[in-house]
Amino acid sequence: MTTVDRPGAVGQDGTAADEAAGWRFPVWRSVVLGVALLALLGGSLGYVLHARERGGAHREVAADASFALDRPGLYYRDAASGRVAREGGPVGGPSCERFYAGGERALCLRALPGTPVRTEAVVYDREFTRLQSVVVPGVPNRARVSASGNLLSWTAFAVGDSYAVSGFSTRTSVLDLRSGYLIKSIEDIPLTVDGVRYHAADVNYWGVGFAADDNRFYATVSTRGRTHLVEGDLAGWSARTLRENVECPSLSPDGTRLAFKKKVSDDPAAPWRLYVLDLADLREHPLAETRSVDDQAAWLDGDTLGYALPAGSGRGSDLWTVPADGTGAPALRVPGASSPVAVRT
């Protein structure tokens, strides 16, 4: 505001006539501005303090000492507290935006405060002892752990490096706990599309799911406006596309089927529907859930899928389940929850 209050700066239009007439400080206008400034400042400060009092957004909370992945069951993120909870049990886990677990490891994605947005991926053991953490740019988006707990993968949604007018960009990382090797972005993996080696600047990966051999993985690759199901080989450092229009694949416990979301509509309000793909004959069938699901579905057992849907209230999400064979009907499992994972012992 200093520029405005500078004598000789305000209230004249720069002609010499005005200057010759002598410039007068705009007293009343400055008083009005001063009063308004104080009122707006006071109001803003009041709201900020109120928000702080209310608790702001979710603060980072560590897990309670009594909380562990020690019992089999359904674990999820509780929308109200932002913390990990067990179905029928207490809300005692760490605060995470996305959560998943497998074997002896759990993965928690957290948005670091401030701008630009960064994601912290934290690796825990079953007692929620913090083992390792990696910080990547972007907004937390997907988290997966292989069944053994050896491989972890996460996707962050990067804002600002997309060159298309309305595009977005993702960065998917894979961490191998056996070697400690971290692949910060799997975009460099040699990709074969429809049998031909493929090069393009706009390749994006997201939604990795691991096979039981801790080497093979499935993921979405997007390029030139289309999405493909890709099968990757970490040891062989190669990837090839299997099929078009498959996003966020999730491999069944027996490794024979893939649950995924398929884009069925150009309506941005409801673009997807859940499908299951049979890997033996590459045939797919829609599930009984007809609403648009934007989540990487999780296999709660060999026959049931769990996923989050926006809550009716407009805030947060609810956890639903649906049979994997296309029969039955979706059922509300846990209100106010997301990031489902079935923990076995």
Partner 1 sequence: MYLATTGRRPDAPSRPRTGAGRRVPGTVLALGAVSLVTDVSSEMVTAVLPLYLVLGLGLSPLQFGFLDGLFNGATALVRLLGGRLADRGGGRHKAVAGAGYLLSALSRLGLLLAGGAATGIAAALAADRLGKGVRTAPRDALISLSTPPADLGRAFGVHRAMDTTGALLGPLAAFAVLWAAADAYDAVFVVSFATGLLGVLVLVLFVRDGAGAGTPAGPAARADRPTVRQLLREPALRRITGAAALLGAATVGDSFLYLLLQRVLGLPPEVFPLLPLGSAACYLLLAVPAGRLADRTGRRAPFLAGHLALLAGYLLLLVPAGWATLALVLVLLGVFYAATDGVLMALAGPVLPAAGRAGALAVVQTGQALARLVGAAGFGAAWTWWGTRPALAAAALALAAALLAARRVLPEGKVS
Per CB under 8 A, contacts with partner 1 among 283-342 are: 294, 308, 310, 313-317, 338
Q: Which residue has the tokens 């972007």?
A: 138
Q: Which is nearer to partner 1, 141 or 304 (CB)?
A: 141
Output the 3-class SS for 124-140.
EECCCCEEEEEEEECEE
Q: Is 96 in the site for partner 1 (CB under 8 A)?
A: no
Write down the least CB distance from residue 328 to partner 1, Å.
25
Closest approach of partner 1 to the CB of residue 167, in Å? 6
Site for partner 1 in 38-77 (CB under 8 A): 40-41, 43-44, 47-48, 51-52, 54-59
Candidates 14-22, 87-95, 213-221, 231-239; binding stretch for partner 1 (CB under 8 A)? 14-22
Residues 113, 190, 236, 255: which binds partner 1 (CB under 8 A)?
113
Binding mask 133-162 for partner 1 (x = CB under 8 A): ---xx-xxx---------------xxxxxx
CB 138 within 8 A of CB 158: yes
DSSP labels, 266-293: S-TTS-EEEEEEETTTTEEEE-S--S--
Using CB under 8 A, count the residues that bind partner 1.
81
Stretch touching partner 1 by CB under 8 A, among 196-204, 212-220, 232-240, 274-282: 196-204
Determine the Cα–Cα distance for residues 77 and 127; give it in Å rounded to an integer: 17
Q: Rule CB under 8 A: choose which of 78, 97, 214, 289 binds partner 1.
A: 97
Residue 147 CA to residue 127 CA, distance in Å, equals: 17
Which residue from 94, 119, 124, 101 is spatially nearest to 109, judged by alpha carbons?
Answer: 119
Give CA–CA dist 227/122, Å, rounded: 29
Min CB(296)–partner 1 separation in Å: 11
Identity of the residue, 105 or 110, whose beta carbon is nearer to partner 1 in the bound complex:
110
Cβ(322)–Cβ(330) below 8 Å: yes
The minimum distance between CB 30 and partner 1, in angstroms, equals 8
Nearer to partner 1, 25 or 237 (CB): 25
**Measured between alpha carbons, how far is 153 from 105 in angstroms, rounded to an integer?**
12
Nearer to partner 1, 69 or 156 (CB): 156
- Find tokens 């700066």 and name the residue: 9
d(CA 165, CA 167): 6
In the list 22, 88, 114, 180, the residue contacting partner 1 (rule: CB under 8 A) is 114
How many helices (H) and strands (E) are present in the chain, helices listed first? Answer: 3, 26
